Structure formats: structure tokens, C-alpha cells
Amino acid sequence: MQRFANKVAVVTGGGRGIGQEVAKKLASEGAKVAVVSRSESSCGKAAEAINAEFPGSAKAYAVDVADHEAVQALAKQIGDDLGTVNILINNAGVTRDGLLMRMKEEDWDTVLDTNLKGAFNTVKAFMRVLMKAEDPRIINIASVIGLIGNAGQTNYAASKAGLIGFTKSVARELAGRKVTCNAIAPGFITTDMTDELSDAIKEGVISKIPLAVFGETSDIAEAVAFLASSQARYITGQVLAVDGGMTM
Ligand SMILES: NC(=O)c1ccc[n+]([C@@H]2O[C@H](COP(=O)([O-])OP(=O)(O)OC[C@H]3O[C@@H](n4cnc5c(N)ncnc54)[C@H](OP(=O)(O)O)[C@@H]3O)[C@@H](O)[C@H]2O)c1
């Protein structure tokens, strides 16, 4: 299926994990994809791997999404390089876990600046273009932690709950221009982010997942591709949990 022929997608945090898989999935169905990540080497390698499978489909951009001006410049550059953007995937995210009692201010700020302000920055930078694009879509990658909270992740939970509120408000503001905005709340997905967890924590988590396994990055990429497609035109302001039943 080529659901994204002639479409341009921007995937933040596309250098690794979920974002890389999302970028690959959209490219596999015809999109030209801007792969954005913090480091040059990460987005460069991801774009190279995607181009090896789908020649000419990916271009790398090393930008910190927390930097408002850099994201404005990024939007201009992507417009010049790839043309009108149809699909924006806000996936860049970080964790700086620790109990609130011991959490440093910089750990709070880094997580909120990346996970929440990063989405504000990109939506601000791309919204005018999206409002004029065909089948315009914004998809924000939140987390089940933004729905249910988690001890040791007050900063991360606040950023993802904030992202969900942001999603619903953007959906309401841009609905008149046919831009849909939805969130996906992944459960525990096998990536570098969850590889950091100890075996004991992983076992504890699995005991709370009805399907009793961690998800794969492709589980998220398939959900993103559906919400990004024209088939999802009547869905906006929703939060889709892709979590093995964890939050039902
Ligand atoms: N894995 C899970 O179980 C899980 C569950 C729920 C939600 N999520 C969410 O899903 C998203 C992707 O997670 P993941 O597990 O794939 O993470 P990951 O493997 O750690 O990859 C994160 C990506 O985000 C990029 N990034 C981080 N900070 C950035 C910044 N300031 N500016 C630009 N790019 C930045 C990284 O860039 P570099 O490669 O250059 O470092 C990397 O490409 C995150 O928002 C995460 O919160 C993940």
C-alpha cells in the first residue's frame, strides 16, 4: 500500500527506537520523511538505513526540539528541501527518572523542555504549512505514564499528561482547517529507553500487562500510520493506548 505517496512527514526523535520505525513505515508507503534527532550521527544513520531500503525517501536533520528558534529554522529548511509538510509526528522524548524527593530542577526542566515544549515548538513552526496541506496530521507520542502516573517519573508523567492536554486543545483549534491532532500512548516498548530498566522492574511491569509482553516499535508505527492516513480523517483529539491492555 502507498498511503503516503506525495506526502511529506516530519518525525522528531527519528534517530532511534520508535521514531526510526515510524519514519521507516511512512517511507515504506511512499512518504518523503524528515528524520529529526538531537545528534547528527543518530539521524544520519537512521536516514541512511531508510534510504537503503526506500531510496531517496529520507533526509536527516540534527536539531534540538527544545530550541524554539532552531525549530523555526528547521521548518524553513524542510520546506525548502522537501516541500509542503503534511504529517508531523512529535516523538522526541527523554526520561530523567528519580523520586521527587531527590529530583533535580535540571531533570525536571530537561524532560518538560523536550517532551512538552518540543511539541509546542514544532506545532508552532509547522502549523501554517499544515493548515494549507492535503490530509494534514499531527500525531503526538505520549505514554501510558501520562495517563496513570508512575513513582519515580513525576517529570515524565507531567510532560506526557501535558502533551495529551496539548493534543486535545490543538485538535480543537485546528479542526476548522481540517488538521487532525491525536496522541498515541505507548505502553512498554522494547527500545534503548526501556533497555535501561533492570530485569526486576521489567518483570514487575510485565505482570501488569494483560498481553504479558513488551510491545515492539512496529506496534507503534502501525498505529501512527493509520492515524496519519486519509482513512483516519474523522478521528481527532483522541488518545490511542497501544499498551497490551495495560490501561484498559
Ligand atoms: N519505549 C517505550 O517503552 C515508550 C513508552 C511510552 C512512550 N514512549 C515515548 O516514545 C518516544 C520514543 O521513545 P523511544 O523509546 O523510541 O526513545 P529512544 O530510543 O530513547 O529514542 C529517543 C529519540 O528522541 C531523540 N531526542 C531526544 N531528545 C531530543 C531533543 N531534545 N531534540 C531532538 N531529538 C531528541 C533522540 O535523539 P538521539 O538519537 O540523537 O539521541 C532519539 O532519536 C518518546 O517520546 C517516549 O517518551 C516510549
pLDDT single digits (tens) 97-133: 999 999 999 999 999 999 999 999 999 999 999 999 9
CB distance 90 to ligand 1 below 6 Å:
no
Contact between 62 and 6 under an 8 Å Cβ cutoff? The reply is no
Binning the chain into helix, strand and coil, the percentages to the nearest 5 are: 50, 15, 35
Tell me whether residue 3 is in a domain.
no
pLDDT of 241 strictly over 90: yes
Distance 176 CA to ligand 1 centre (A): 31
CATH number for the domain that contains residue 179 = 3.40.50.720
Tell me whether residue 185 is in a domain.
yes
User: Residue 1's pLDDT is what?
Assistant: 78
Q: How far apart are CA 24 and CA 143, in angstroms?
A: 21
Task: Please state whether the predicted TM-score (pTM) of the whole model is above 0.95.
Answer: yes
Tell me whether residue 163 is in a domain.
yes
Tell me whether residue 191 is in a domain.
yes
Q: Which stretches does DSSP call E strand in the chain?
A: 8-12, 32-37, 58-62, 87-90, 137-141, 180-186, 239-242
Q: Which domain holds residue 185?
A: 8-242
Tell me whether residue 145 is in a domain.
yes
Tell me whether residue 2 is in a domain.
no
Tell me whether residue 218 is in a domain.
yes
Contact between 176 and 162 under an 8 Å Cβ cutoff? The reply is no
Tell me whether residue 247 is in a domain.
no
Phi-psi sector, 245: left (phi>0), alpha (psi -120 to 50), beta: left
CB distance 154 to ligand 1 below 6 Å:
no
Per residue in 132-143, pLDDT tens?
999 999 999 999
Per residue in 16-42, pLDDT tens?
999 999 999 999 999 999 999 999 999
For residue 114, the ligand 1 atom closest to its alpha carbon is 31
Q: Among 12, 18, 89, which residue has the most ligand 1 atoms within 8 Å of its CB, making it the best to mutate?
A: 18
CB distance 136 to ligand 1 below 6 Å:
no
Domain count, the chain: 1
Looking at residues 68-92, what average pLDDT do you find?
98
Annotated binding site: 13-16, 91, 156-160, 189
CB distance 65 to ligand 1 below 6 Å:
yes
